[in-house]
Structure 1
């Protein structure tokens, strides 16, 4: 029943209720939440996964739509979905932090481009690393793992008991620090060589004060930065895989514990 003497098909109301958690997760999660993904596609995916959830779990939606208890249940469902997607979004922020550090050391911190994930401007190097992380995320079926985690969340956090505990909210906040740690650990392979270059340039400037450092330092920083990134790609790719796995594991631990 909708309330006010109105009615709705029970199966349709159950599907709409299930789609709230799935849709909230897709809004906050990377790849699914990209601004380039049409809203119709997100709704269709949420409906398809909702049908899957209804086939695997016995979901009983609130009896009335226009009721305070129903609004609280919807808020709880949206909170769980947003938390599942937000954890992965935190992990995807690590390459942007590394790009800020590397770009500033190379002297191209002003080089920005539009991020297709968010539609906002971001550093070019950070955008490149973010695209690399997205490709690796898709290559290990991370999007399928996310969908599986959302479906399993209905077992660990069934509707009606879906409010996140204070400990789970604390874990989400603490995982936010992992983005800064991962970004700092992703930048050193290139940042160390650029630091050594800056030390050399500094010694040259002390020995030859009349030398124009802008005509030497910036091209040297660009050349060393590009060569260092090309040489560090294997190590950076391996650590990006670690970031992806850590994000998926944090999402899974939020649901399973």
Structure 2
């Protein structure tokens, strides 16, 4: 019942209730939450996965739609979905940190472009690394792992009792430091070479003050940075796989404990 003497189809109301958690996760999660994904596509995916959930889990939605207990249950469902998507988004922030570090060291920090995930302007190198991480995420079926996690979350955190404990919020906050640590480690091979180059250029500028530091240092930083990226990119790709695994593992620990 709607609460005003009006009736609603029980199956439709159960589907809408299940779609709250799934839709909230798709809003916050990478790939699914990209601005390039149309809203009807997200709604259709949420509905399709909601039908799968209803077919495998005995979900019982609140009896009345316009009731305080129903609003609290919906808020709990949305909170769980947003937490699952947000913790994956934290892992996807590591390439943005690495791109800023490398780009500023190479002297191309001013080059920016529109990020296809967020629709905001960011460093071009950060967008390149973020795109590579997204492709690796899809190549290892991370999106399917996310969908499977959402379906199984109805066993670990059933609707109606889905409020997250304080220690789970603490885990999300602690995992936020992983974005900076992973970003620094991702930028370490190229950043170390550029740091050595800057030290050499600084020694040259002190020993030969007549040299034009900007005319020499900027082309050298750009050339060494491009070569270092080409050499270190296989190792960076391997570490991006680790970032994806850590993000999915953190999301699974959040849901299943």
Question: TM-score, normalising length from structure 1?
Answer: 0.99
SS at structure 2 position matched to 1:22: helix
Cα drift, residue 50 of structure 1: 0.1
Gap runs ≥5 in structure 1: none
**Hey, what's the Cα distance between the residues in 2 that align with 1:159 and 1:196?**
55
Q: 2:98 aligns to what?
A: 98
**Hey, what's the Cα distance between the residues in 2 that align with 1:150 and 1:84?**
8
Say how many residue pairs are matched: 257
**Hey, what's the Cα distance between the residues in 2 that align with 1:115 and 1:176?**
21
**Hey, what's the Cα distance between the residues in 1 that align with 2:152 and 2:172?**
19
**Hey, what's the Cα distance between the residues in 1 that align with 2:128 and 2:204?**
33
Q: 1:207 aligns to what?
A: 207
Q: 2:144 aligns to what?
A: 144
5 Å-filtered alignment, 1:1-257, equals: 1-257=1-257
Question: TM-score, normalising length from structure 2?
Answer: 0.99
SS at structure 2 position matched to 1:187: helix
Structure 1 vs Structure 2 CA RMSD: 0.5
Cα drift, residue 160 of structure 1: 0.9
SS at structure 1 position matched to 2:113: strand
Q: Deviations over 1:31-60 (max 9, x none)?
A: 000000000000000000000000000000
Gap runs ≥5 in structure 2: none
Q: Deviations over 1:150-178 (max 9, x none)?
A: 00100000001100001111101110110
